[in-house]
Chains A and B, each alone.
Chain A
Amino acid sequence: MTGGRRDRLAGFAFVGPFLALYAFLLIYPLFMGIGLSFHRADLFGARRFVGFENYARAFADPIAWQALWNTFKLTVLIVLPLTAITLALALALNRATRGAAIFRGIFFASSVLSVTIVTLIWRFILTPDAGLVAKIVTTLGGTPPPFLSDPNLTIPALAITTIWWSVGFPMMLFLAGLQQIPADMYEAAALDNAGPWTRLFKITLPSLRRTLILVIMLQTAAQLQLFGQAQLLTAGGPSGASRPVVLLIFEVAFGRWELGYAAALAELLFLLVLSVTFIQYWAVGRAAKEER
């Protein structure tokens, strides 16, 4: 046996267990899901091949379009403020003082909570009868806004909750990006008479470009799959006004037992997330090329 072949076998021996698990838990279900989406199927195993019927149905389903529109609104309302807020936090906390370290810990803390706890906390804050916001507004003489029942307020309420929950990770990514900017570049900028705003817009932000793209794309991919908060905080209501796509898939699969249709919806969402990921690869590649 040649050394090269032995090395290759040893390599496979090391990655083999992981590859087997990966294939069994991810690749196999992926193809099973694709197969399922071409069938009419229920939870009890009855299935009938229907071709593209489920997909055709999805494109004609006003509830699916409503869910997609909700998902789009949520994604925009979450990703843009979240990016701006976490960037600002990272810029403010990118220093070696003890205070900054404490605040970094505090802002990261919400990320470790489970979605159940997060929605519970925000229910206490937002609920119109006795919530924190309601109390403050009442004290000031106003009428508390019905965050969890007004169809115009449920999506902003979900967005605020999600932003609060999600600040930690993007902030850490931005901090890591900031640490990579060499200090002598700022010294050169100081000798080049650059004020704080010039430094921010001409040195810091261009240097963070790749991190910025990464954060936006990761968050977009994540928020397109938003589920738990919506289910627990508003249950998608009122009348579907805050129902995102994944919640619809969940209801179709496990409420109406239409597995085939749910699988088709899931595959469509999968394609959407996949295309966002490809856009990210393209954008990061272009940013890297421009620096070269």
Chain B
Amino acid sequence: MPSLELIDIRKAFGATPVLDGVSLAMEAKEFIAFLGPSGSGKSTLLRIIAGLETADSGEVRLEGERIDTLPPGRRGVAMVFQHYALYPHMSVRENMAFGLRNAKVPADEIARRVEQAAKVLEIEHQLDRKPAQMSGGQRQRVAIGRAIVKQPKLFLLDEPLSNLDAALRMRTRIELAQLRQRVDAAVIMVTHDQAEAMTLADRMVVMNERRIQQVGAPMDVYRRPANAFVARFVGSPAMTLAPATLVGDGDYARVRLGDGSEVATRVPRAGLPEGPLELGLRPEHVRVGDGDNATVDLVERLGERTLVYARLADGRAITAEDNGDSRVRIGDKVGLVIDGAAAHLFGPDGAGYHAEEPRA
């Protein structure tokens, strides 16, 4: 049975539309990340699922049951808020038990669930503390614990890692991945951090401009971005997009860049639209070699690899990758070698066209 189904969700705040016909079906126990920039509508969508906002039209179903007509507490969902939203005057134990008490769960069952969740989250010695006595990471665990004890059908995580410092964020990310194995429910996480989405989610829902841009497994989205927005948003550093014109003929598209160089892609020529194209290149598909077709603007040494931000003869910025021990310096003339077989093309409307997958 599908877990969550969204059917043509629309929402506007006054005259400002924020969601424009969003539909999605989640599989059982799937972990989905809503990924998008601020204002893309991802948080609003999460709040509509939780019942904190009402959609103007459309349906929300959870395990077959329509839930958008139910109050938030009766939907079978639990939410971890971005700023945790713990009750400051209650102890950790009371914070976790509050929802169960309101749902009239028997006291011994509440105690059992709270103890169990506290153990999983390693906060069993802090159950009698107040939230203000705890660190940010511990509060985060309490917020997760408060969701776990409800044994929901669906967890909603609103930017769960954004309030943690870098070291703690990495650790919590791993813990979230482990936790996910233990809970018997589907998970939706809202994030604007593509690394979080890629590492945690089974599928990513990339949102922008009130709509879903692409739904897919992280590596599928990375390898075959549906459009130029997704191509730029997913992947760090971002994919280089350069204006290109189609030249010559043959089964696969061959394009000329602004500096006159030509790139032979493996994108089938058939099906490409008329009009100006853009060539999309991931940094790992542009290598630094001998020659002088580009000038280096900036060098980022990441240890195992080096990112080279360069400029082609026509001034077009392009990001390339070099080995970790690269000797390239700012101002150097370098020869960039483009792996045409891995390049993407984007049509005038932004739609993406990709190289044929090698046949197995």
**A193 and B102 contacting across the interface, CB-CB below 8 Å:** yes
Which residues of chain B have C-beta atoms less than 8 A from A207's C-beta?
88-89
Would A290 and B102 count as touching, CB distance under 8 A? no
Find out whether the CB atom of A290 lies under 8 angstroms from the CB atom of B89: yes
Interface residues in B89-105 by Cβ distance below 8 A to A read 89-90, 98-99, 102-103
Q: Are B132 and A190 in contact (CB under 8 A)?
A: no
B118 CB-CB contact with A under 8 Å: no
The residues of A that contact B74 with a CB separation of less than 8 Å are 193
| B88 and A195 form a contact (CB under 8 A) | no
Decide: A194 and B89 in contact? CB cutoff 8 A. no
Cβ contacts under 8 Å, B231 to chain A: none
A-facing mask of B109-148, CB < 8 A → 1, else 0?
A: 0000000000000000000001011000000000000100
Is B320 in the interface zone, CB < 8 Å from A?
A: no
List A residues 189-244 near B (Cβ within 8 Å): 189-195, 198, 202-203, 206-207, 209
A190-B73, A192-B73, A291-B130 given; A185·B99 CB < 8 A: no
Which residues in B have their C-beta under 8 angstroms from that of A190?
51-52, 71-73
Task: Kindly state the separation between the CA atoms of A176 and B47 in the bound complex, as whole angstroms.
Answer: 27
In the complex, A193 Cα to B81 Cα: how many Å? Answer: 16
Whether the pair B72, A184 counts as a contact (CB closer than 8 A) is no
A-B contact count (CB 8 A): 71
Query: Bound state CA distance, A162 and B60, in angstroms?
Result: 54
Across-interface contacts of A192 in B (CB, < 8 A):
73, 98-99, 102, 146
CB <8 Å contact, A191 and B79: yes
Chain A residues whose C-beta falls within 8 Å of the C-beta of B130 in the assembled complex = 290-292
- Nearest-neighbor residue (CB-CB) of A192 within chain B: B99
Residues of A within 8 A of B103 (CB): 193
- B-facing residues in A173-188 (Cβ within 8 Å): 182, 184-185, 187-188
Q: Is the CB of A182 within 8 A of B83?
A: yes
Contact A184 B89 (CB under 8 A): no
Residues in A with CB closer than 8 Å to B79 are 187-188, 191
Q: How far is the CB of B103 from chain A (nearest CB, A)?
A: 5
**Chain B residues whose C-beta falls within 8 Å of the C-beta of A292 in the assembled complex:** 130, 132-133
The dominant DSSP class at the A interface is helix
**Distance in Å: Cβ of A230 to nearest Cβ of chain B:** 39
> Whole-angstrom distance between the alpha carbons of A104 and B63 in the complex?
47
B47 to chain A, nearest CB (A): 8
Chain A residues within an 8 Å CB radius of B77? 191
Choose one: A187, A202, A203; the contact of B81 (CB below 8 Å): A187
Contacts of B82 in A (CB 8 A): 184
Residues of B within 8 A of A185 (CB): 85, 87
In the bound assembly, the distance between CA atoms of A290 and B129 in angstroms comes to 10
| A268-292 residues at the B interface, CB under 8 angstroms | 290-292
What is the distance, in angstroms, from B335's C-beta to the closest C-beta of chain A?
A: 54
Complex: how many Å from CA A203 to CA B72? 17
List 19 extra interface pairs beyond A188-B81, A194-B73, CB under 8 A: A182-B85, A184-B81, A188-B85, A188-B87, A191-B52, A191-B72, A191-B79, A193-B74, A193-B99, A194-B98, A194-B102, A202-B87, A202-B98, A207-B88, A207-B89, A209-B89, A290-B89, A291-B89, A292-B132
Q: What are some 22 contacts across the A-B interface (CB < 8 A)?
A: A182-B85, A184-B83, A185-B85, A187-B50, A187-B52, A187-B72, A188-B79, A188-B87, A190-B72, A191-B51, A191-B73, A191-B77, A192-B73, A192-B99, A194-B98, A194-B99, A195-B102, A202-B98, A206-B87, A206-B89, A291-B88, A292-B130
Chain A to chain B: the 5 pairs with minimum beta-carbon distance, closest first: A193-B73, A192-B99, A184-B85, A193-B102, A188-B85
